[in-house]
Structure 1
C-alpha cells in the first residue's frame, strides 16, 4: 500500500519512498518540482530538486539559488525503491507531471496541468493507466467548460484589433508567468508592438529560447506605452500601470472570467475565459481514461462536487487540502 500524505502546508510526500512533490520540508531526499509558479516552487530557495530544464531556468529567474537535477520528458530516473518519469503537463512552459513506479503500485502527481495543452508549453502526455492519481481541480464545477484554442485566439486578437482601430490602448490582464506569454503568443500574428510588465518581461527570454513566438515585444515603459498592446497583472494595474493612458480598454484573461459574478465584480471591458488549467469535463474524462484505484484531489474549493461525479463512475477519491495561490 502506498502512503500519500500532505507535507504540512506545502507539498505532498510519499514517505516510504523518500519522495516529495512541490515540497519545501527536509523529510524527503528526492524533491520533484512540477513547475515554476510560486505555490509550487520550494519555499527554501536553496534546496536541491529535480525538474525540467525550462522549470529550472524559470525558477532561477524568480530567485531560486539551489541546484537542480534536470530531467528530460520521458527520461526515467532509477531510485533505490522506485522509478520516476516526467510527462509534459501543458500548464506553462516546463510544467511536468511526475510518474512514480514502485513494487506497491504507481502514482501520477500532476502539479497544475492542462489538456488540451497551452500552445506556449511543451504539450501534454500521460501514462495509459495509474493506480494513484493526484490531481488539482481548480475549476471543479460543471460551469467551467473551455472554448477551443482557435476560438480563444480569435477573442484575444479580435479585442486587440478592434480596440486599436477605435483609437484605444488594449490592456490584457494576465498572470506574469504562463498566461502572459500565452496571450503574447496569440497576439504575435498581429505584428503590433507589445509591452509587458517588467516582472513578466524577464521570463520571456526562457520562452524565446524554447522556440515560443511572442511577437514584437519589449518591457513596459510608461512614457511610450500608449497605442501599444499592453500585458500586465490586475495588481500592477491597481498600482498605477498605464494610469497616464486615458483611452484604454481592459480584457481580463482567466478561467474565472467564466463566472457570472465576474461581470459585476470586475471593472473591465472584456472577459476572456482563458485558463492554463483543464476544465471540469476534461478532468472527469481523464480520470475515466486513467482508471485509477484512487484519485487524490488538491487545489479546489469544491472537492465534494468532483467526488460526486467520481462516485458515479465507481472511482474512489479523497480530498488533500493544500495551500495555494491564485495563478489564473
Structure 2
C-alpha cells in the first residue's frame, strides 16, 4: 500500500484516492480525524467526512466547506474500499480511520488516547490491521502517565485547596480538548468556572454531546477572581487574570512530566495530564493490534519506538510527513 503526503502533514493513499487529515488534488474522498489545527484542513473544495462533533468544531474554527458526518462504527462503503471511524479518546469527536480494501487493512490513528479522556466518546479499535500509522508524540520511556482517577484527583485537589486558601486557581490548558476535560473534572466541585473566550465558543458542542462542563461562562476580567479559571498558556502574556493578585497556576499537559516546565512557565503546579497515550500504552497498542507494518509519526525520536517494537518482532519505520513515502 503506497503512502504519500497530503497537505501540511496528512496522508494520501493514491491507489484508493483517500486523503486523511489533509487534502490532495487526486483525492476522491477526504477524512479528518479531529478538529485540532494541525489535523483539520480549510479547503472548501474538498468534500470532507468526519464525525459529527469534529465537523461542528471545525466549522467553529473556520472551516466552511461541504461535508458529511459519519457515525462511529458505521462503514462508508464504495466499490474500492470500506472506511470505518473508531473513537480515538483524544478530544470530543476524535476518530481513528480504518480502511479495508483488496490492498489490505490500514488503521490511521491521528491523535489518540487510551485509556480515553473522560470528556470524549471513549476509545475503541478494530481487532487487527495489516498496516498501522500511529502518532508517537510521547514516544520516549520517560513518559508514563498516572491513572485517569489519580490525575482527576490532582486537578480537583488543586482547585479545592486553592479556593479554600482564598486564592484563584488558574489551569493552563489548550482551548480545545484539554480545557473542556479540566472543566469536566472540576464539574463535581459545583464552583463557577470561567474559560478563555476562544475555548468558550467551542463548549456548546460538548454540551450537545452530554459532557458535563460544570457551571461555566466566558472569561470576564472584572469578575474572574475567586472562579476556577481555564486558559491556554499564551493567554497569560496577554494579561489574562493579571488583575488577580492572589492566584495559583497549574500547567496541564503531558509535557508537565518534565520538571523543567515549572521554571520555564513560572507555575505553582505541574499536572501531567495528556490527551495522547503514553510510551508504554503505545507499545502495548501496537503489540495487541499485531500489524504487518507500523509507520511511526509525530515523534521526537522514532528510533526509540522502533527499538521497542523490534524487541517484539514488529516491523516498523519512521514516516516523515514532510516527505512523500512509498512502500
Q: TM-score normalised to the size of structure 1?
A: 0.96
- Residue 178 of structure 1 corresponds to 177
When structure 1 is superposed on structure 2, of 28-37 and 262-271 the one drifting more is 262-271
| Paired position in structure 2 for 1:91 | 90
Shift of 1:45: 4.7
Matches within 5 A, 1:62-141: 62-141=61-140
- The residue that corresponds to 1:301 in the other structure is 300
Distance in 2, matches of 1:8 and 1:275, equals: 26
- CA-CA distance at 1:322 after TM superposition: 3.1
Equivalent residue for 1:233?
A: 232
Q: Does 1:289 align with 2:291?
A: no
Hey, what does 2:325 align to over in structure 1? none
1:207 is matched with: 206
TM-superposed deviation, 1:78 = 0.8
2:258 and 2:318 map into 1 onto residues whose CA distance is 23
Alignment of 1:7-26 (within 5 A): 7=6, 9-26=8-25
Deviation at residue 7 of structure 1 after TM alignment: 2.5
Where does residue 192 of structure 1 map in the other structure? 191
Cα pair distance change 1:246/1:268, threshold 3 Å: same
Preserved CA contact (<8 Å) 2:3 2:13: yes
Q: Is the 8 A contact 2:7 2:23 kept in 1?
A: no
1:31 aligns with 2:17: no
Tell whether the 8 Å contact from 1:130 to 1:292 is kept in structure 2 after alignment: yes
Alignment check: 8 A CA contact 2:262 2:268 kept: no
| Aligned 8 A contact 2:7 2:22 in 1 | no
Say if 1:46 and 1:64, in contact at 8 Å, map to a contact too: no
**Which position in structure 2 is the counterpart of 1:278?**
277
Deviations 1:231-271, CA, capped at 9 Å, x for gaps: 00000111111111111110000000001322332200000
Q: Distance in 1 between matches of 2:265 and 2:308?
A: 31
For the 8 Å contact 1:24–1:43, the answer to whether it is kept is: no
Alpha-carbon RMSD across the aligned residues, in angstroms, is: 1.1
Structure 1 runs not aligned, ≥5 long: 324-328
Alignment map for 1:222-261 (pairs within 5 Å): 222-261=221-260
Runs of 4+, deviation exceeding 6 Å: none
Give the secondary structure class of the aligned counterpart of 1:206. helix
Gaps of 5+ in 2: 323-327
Query: SS of the counterpart of 1:93?
Result: coil
Count of residue correspondences: 322
Which residue in 2 is equivalent to 1:55?
54
DSSP-derived class of the 2:304 partner: helix
Secondary structure at the residue paired with 1:63? coil
Superposed CA deviations along residues 162-216 of structure 1, whole A, max 9, x for unmatched, are 1111111100000000000000000000000000000000000000100000001
Distance in 1 between residues matched to 2:252 and 2:132, nearest whole Å: 29
2:9–2:21: 8 Å Cα contact kept in structure 1? yes
1:40 aligns with 2:39: yes
Would the aligned equivalents of 1:135 and 1:296 in 2 still touch at CA under 8 Å? yes
Deviations 1:38-60 (A, max 9, x none): 00001425531000001011111
2:7 and 2:54 map into 1 onto residues whose CA distance is 24
TM-score (structure 2 length as normaliser)? 0.96
Query: CA shift at 1:4, angstroms?
Result: 1.7
